[in-house]
């Protein structure tokens, strides 16, 4: 029997991955699809925030610093209020879309618990219909109870790490920008 070509091997590997994912979702129930959707949305938002910090934020800092440095007055009450406004604009840009990320991180374990409840309902249904003698049916329900919990926790932990990192960066960067816009004490 001839060895499969590199392209055939790649296609076979893709089918194996697809089959493993399909089996995982079948064993874990429909709640896993919801967890996957929420996790994908969370990671898109996390990626967007990293992209913003690496690109757009630098442009925003340059714009605000130039606006502040072009002012001749840095000591009046009005200048202090304009500085506060500029710093506030930077902070708003930094913190934008952080709360949806944090909400999705919080939602993941809750969805996992929903999967636990639906899986246990399936176990109780099997017990009600077949009694305690249908071990295979009960095992399927237990699987549907544990896999979504695990998936929800893994998604939440991975997102939480980056959510905390993004929040910390936003706070530190906002403070750094505020410190960089120098004021003269005139009040």
What confidence score (pLDDT) does residue 20 get?
Answer: 77
What is the pLDDT at residue 90?
A: 93
| Count of beta carbons in the 10 Å neighbourhood of residue 183 | 14
**152, 147, 144, 148: which is closest to 109 by C-alpha?**
152
Count helices and strands in the chain by DSSP H and E runs: 6, 0
The encoded tokens of residue 95 equal 């913190």
pTM for the model = 0.79
Supply 138's token pair.
């009960």
Q: What is the pLDDT of residue 46?
A: 97
**pLDDT at 49 (0 to 100):** 96
Are 111 and 34 in contact by the 8 Å Cβ rule? The answer is yes
Predicted pLDDT at 75: 86
The answer to whether the CB of 161 falls within 8 A of the CB of 67 is no
User: Which segments in the chain show pLDDT lower than 50?
Assistant: 187
Domain-by-domain residue ranges, the chain?
Answer: 30-180
pLDDT for the residue 61: 92
Q: What is the pLDDT of residue 118?
A: 86
Q: With 0-12 CB in 10 A as exposed, 13-18 as middle and 19+ as buried, what is 72?
A: exposed
For 85, half-sphere exposure in the C-beta direction (CA atoms, 13 angstrom radius) is: 8
């Amino acid at each position: 029997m001839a060895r499969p070509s590199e392209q055939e091997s790649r296609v076979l590997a893709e089918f194996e991955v697809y089959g493993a994912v399909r089996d995982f979702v079948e064993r874990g129930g429909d709640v896993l699809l919801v967890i996957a959707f929420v996790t994908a949305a969370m990671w898109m938002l996390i990626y967007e925030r990293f992209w913003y910090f690496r690109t757009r934020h630098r442009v925003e800092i340059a714009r605000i610093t130039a606006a502040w440095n072009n002012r001749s007055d840095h000591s009046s009450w009005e200048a202090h209020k304009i500085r506060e406004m500029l710093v506030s604009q930077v902070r708003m840009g930094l913190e934008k879309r952080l709360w949806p990320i944090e909400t999705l991180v919080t939602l993941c374990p809750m969805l996992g618990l929903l999967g636990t409840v639906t899986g246990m309902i399936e176990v109780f249904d099997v017990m009600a219909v077949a009694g305690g003698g249908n071990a295979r049916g009960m095992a399927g329900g237990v699987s549907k109870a544990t896999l979504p919990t695990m998936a929800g926790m893994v998604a939440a932990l991975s997102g939480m790490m980056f959510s905390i990192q993004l929040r910390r960066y936003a706070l530190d960067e906002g403070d750094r920008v505020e410190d960089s816009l120098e004021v003269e004490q005139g009040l």
